[in-house]
Every structure is written in structure tokens, then in C-alpha cells.
Amino acid sequence: MGKGVKVVDDNSKISVPLLKNNEPEPEVVEEKPKKVSIRQLWRYAQGPDLIMVFIGILVSTITGVGMPLMSIVVGDLSDSFIKMTTHQEHPNDTCVTSANETWSECYTDDMFKKAVLTNVYYYLILGFAVLIAAFTQVTCFLVSGENMIHRMRKAFFKSIMRQDISWFDKNNSGTLTTKLFDNLERVKEGTGDKMGLLIQFLAQFFGGFIIAFSYDWKLTLIMMSLSPLLVCCGLFMAKLMASSAAKEAKQYAAAGAIAEQALTSIRTVVAFNGEKHECDRYDSALVEGKNTGVLKSVYIGVGLASTFVVMFSSYCLAFWIGTNFIANGTMEPKTVLTVFFSVMMGSMALGQAGQQFAVLGIAQGAASAIFEIIDRDPEIDPYSNKGVKPDNIQGHIVIENIEFSYPTRKDVKILEGISFDALPGQTVALVGSSGCGKSTIVQLLLRYYNPDNGKIIIDGHELSEINIHFLRNMIGVVSQEPILFNCSIEENIQYGNDD
């Protein structure tokens, strides 16, 4: 039997031109996502979520400032212990606070106990305040983050279901599954408790240095002389972590796509003894991700080591200079200790904030890939209400000079000038070898794609004028390789009937 289209009924037979045997396999084209702004990360936040985020920011600031405030208590406690030690070891020496009194007279045991007890109360108050603030901080950011990710998941999946078939030809289903889970988890991290930690560390950094400057600006500036190196180390580590983490996520997504393809087509893999080949493909993809992860770990190690070297050098400088100030009588020991601990806490917070900035950068990149799909308007939109809905469909189909090439292979013509009529009540058979375009005509009739040239007319209405949901609801299709959902046959059939 020759290639062609046969329309068979009791009274008619119609033939049409040959179809070309070059229907392509869809190819995957990956697009490089960009970062979204920090504000856009909260695009799915509603009123209650924004209130919780605002409260979270406030209590994160309290938590962060509470840490360097403890350096004041440490300084006062240390001063009390130093005075008490001097009182015990040199009771008859002249007191530094009063030239007319000895240490045994100017600093008694009761004064020591009162000073220590007062600072203990300060510690309790700060500890309780930080406890409440930290609990509220984590709760607010985690709850608001969960709510936003829940809405984002629904919007992302709904947008995937909205896309046209040509888009799926360019986007691998395994990669989409990875984005649905992994990318959204990264966005969740960036908008959840990690954001609270970032604000906390920034508040701790600024609070620590404000306290240090208020006690002694000279010693603070001396300790800050090495801060530019600390900032450079933090930025270096954050940048390398963000880039390597994004690359690692992309490589593991590719590995996940390979596994998804192999498992989905497991019967074909087994039929061709391809188990070892698929395992090798998956192993190769995993090796790339592992190597990137190892490199990321090296970056983290170098960054942290450099940060600690700079920090400890700064501490060494502070004690060396501070000791000279104390020996010269120009500075009290508690001032040196307060400045030291304030700068130390502020510096450590800056280094930890760099890690949270890296998490935030990863979340921005992951959100970009998600929002790019959510914001995409497909050329053929099944959710659209546009288009006519004819009252009485008879089923007169006219295929008129159809030309078509798949979007992924525009240089290969699948259909060239195909024309035929299918009258109501006729049985139409498309005859040809595998890959000649038979399924393509059915896909065009279902408007999976738009033809490059020519028209498809149903009961006098061009296909592009008919509402897509209405059109597909009128057509029953059993594809060449039907796929059933994990439910009964009856339920699978009912999926095609809204009633």
C-alpha cells in the first residue's frame, strides 16, 4: 500500500500528497537564568506574611544587638574581678580611683558582690530578651517562608500545565521536576530562617562597632585597620560559593534528568540491555557535580582560613596596643576588654553574614528559573477564555495546504502542502511508515502546534479562532503510546470529562 491519506466510508475515498519521513525527536535547549531582585523573592507574600517578615526583622535586630551588648557586661565584670584581686593582693596600696584611700578602703567585699550581682542580672535580662527574640525571629521567617513557597509551588505547577507542547520540546521533564523541588527549596532557604540570620548578623556587626567606638575610637580604629582584608575574604568566599553552588545545582539537575528518563523508559532500557549504559551516564553526571562540590569546599576552606587569620591578627594587635595604653594609664582594662569583645563579635558576625549572602544569592538564582516559567505566556494558552465556542459541532474538517516544521528543527519540513477534507460521519485513515507525519496532523488538529502555513477549518471556523479548551474537550484521543495515571481505568477515562 502506498504512502498517503485514505478517507474511508461507504461512498468516498480521498487521497492526499505523500508525507515526508523525517519527524524529529525533540531536542532540549537550556536557557541560562538570571538573578531576581531581593524584593521579588517575596512576590508571593500576602499581608500576614509581610507582617511576620516585618516582626522578624525587628526581633532579628534585637537578637543581633543583644550579642555585642554582652561585651559591656563582660567588661564591667572583668573590671570588678581585677579590682577585687588587687584589693586582696595589695590591700594597702593606694587606690587608683581615690588618692586618699587604700584598696581595702575604696573597694570592699560588699561593693564587689553588688557589682557582680548587678551584672549577673544584666546577663539574665539580655539572655531572656535574646531567647524570646530568637524564637520569634525563627518562627516568623519560617512560617512566612512556608506560606510563600506553598503558593509558589502551586503557581509554578499551574504554569507548567499551561505551557504549550513546543515549550516542552525544549524543556526536559526531569529538569522541571528538579526545579519544582530543589530550586524551590533553595528559595525557601533564602527567604526563611537564613534571612533572619543575615539581618541578625548585620545588626550584630553594626551594634558591635557602635559600642566599640563609643568606648574608645582609637583602639577601635586600630583593630579595624585589618577589616578591609576581612571584608575581602568574606566577599571572596560568598562570590565563589554562590557561583560554584549554582553550577553544582545545575549539574545535579542534569543527573536527575538522566535518572528520570531512564526510570520512565525502563522497559525500553531493559529491552536493549541498556542498564549499564544508563548507570554510566548517571555516574558521569554525578562525577561532574561531585567535582564542583569538592571545589566549592576548597573555596569555603580557603575563605574561612583567611578570615580567621585576619581576625586573630586583629585580636593580637588589639591586646598589644591595649596593654601599652593600660600601662601608660591612658585606658582602663574594662575599656580594652569591652572594645575587644565588641569588635570581635562584630567581625565574626560580618564573616557569618557573608555565608548568608551566599545563600541569598543562590535563592535569587533559583527563583529566577522559577519565575521565568511562571511569567511565561504561551503562544497557545489552554487557560485562555478567548476564542469562539460553536453551539453545534458537526465535525467537518478541512486541511488546507498545511506546511509544518517542529520548532526545534525549523530546517526540516515535516508536512508540505497537505490538503484533504473529512466530512461528518467519515472514517479517515492516515497511512504511512513510522515517522512520516501521521501523528503530526493529529497534533495540529488538537492545536499542540500552529502550522507554519495553511489552515485547518472545523465547521467553517479556523482552528485558531476556536477556544482551545472547548476544542480539546470535543475531541477524543487515544495516542500511539497511551500513558495511564496511577488509578483505575474508569478514573483515567473520567479525566477527559469535566462532568
d(CA 492, CA 489): 5
Same domain (yes/no): 370, 390: no
Output the pLDDT for position 404: 87
Output the pLDDT for position 499: 65
Note the pLDDT tens digit of each residue in 200-258. Answer: 999 999 999 999 999 988 888 888 887 777 777 767 776 777 677 777 777 887 888 88
Output the pLDDT for position 96: 61
For the chain, give the number of residues: 499
Output the pLDDT for position 60: 94
Same domain (yes/no): 9, 63: no
Q: How many CB atoms sit inside 10 A of residue 436's CB?
A: 20
Strand partners for 450: none
The domain boundary, picked from 344, 374, 404, lies at 374
Is residue 499, in this structure, part of any structural domain at all? no
Same domain (yes/no): 360, 419: no
Residue 451 · residue 403 · CB < 8 Å: yes
d(CA 217, CA 332): 14
Alpha-carbon torsion 476, 481, 485, 491, what sign?
positive
Same domain (yes/no): 162, 257: yes
Is residue 253, in this structure, part of any structural domain at all? yes
Output the pLDDT for position 103: 64
Structural domain tally of the chain?
A: 2
The domain boundary, picked from 315, 348, 374, lies at 374
d(CA 211, CA 229): 22
The domain boundary, picked from 326, 342, 374, lies at 374
Same domain (yes/no): 435, 362: no
| Cell 531567647, residue located | 131
Output the pLDDT for position 477: 80
Same domain (yes/no): 68, 158: yes
Output the pLDDT for position 151: 92
Same domain (yes/no): 131, 236: yes
Same domain (yes/no): 339, 214: yes
Which residues of the chain are modeled with pLDDT < 70? 1-34, 87, 90-107, 234, 238, 242, 435, 496-499
Is residue 436, in this structure, part of any structural domain at all? yes
Which residue range forms the structural domain that includes residue 474?
A: 4-27+386-494
Residue 123 · residue 73 · CB < 8 Å: yes
CATH of the domain at 17: 3.40.50.300
Note the pLDDT tens digit of each residue in 283-327. Answer: 988 888 888 888 878 877 887 788 788 878 888 888 888 888 888
Same domain (yes/no): 75, 182: yes
| Cell 499551561, residue located | 162
Is residue 77, in this structure, part of any structural domain at all? yes
Output the pLDDT for position 100: 66
Is residue 381, in this structure, part of any structural domain at all? no
Is residue 23, in this structure, part of any structural domain at all? yes
Is residue 400, in this structure, part of any structural domain at all? yes
Output the pLDDT for position 94: 67
Same domain (yes/no): 365, 415: no
Note the pLDDT tens digit of each residue in 18-47. Answer: 444 444 444 444 444 467 788 888 888 888
Output the pLDDT for position 498: 65
Output the pLDDT for position 52: 93
Output the pLDDT for position 58: 95
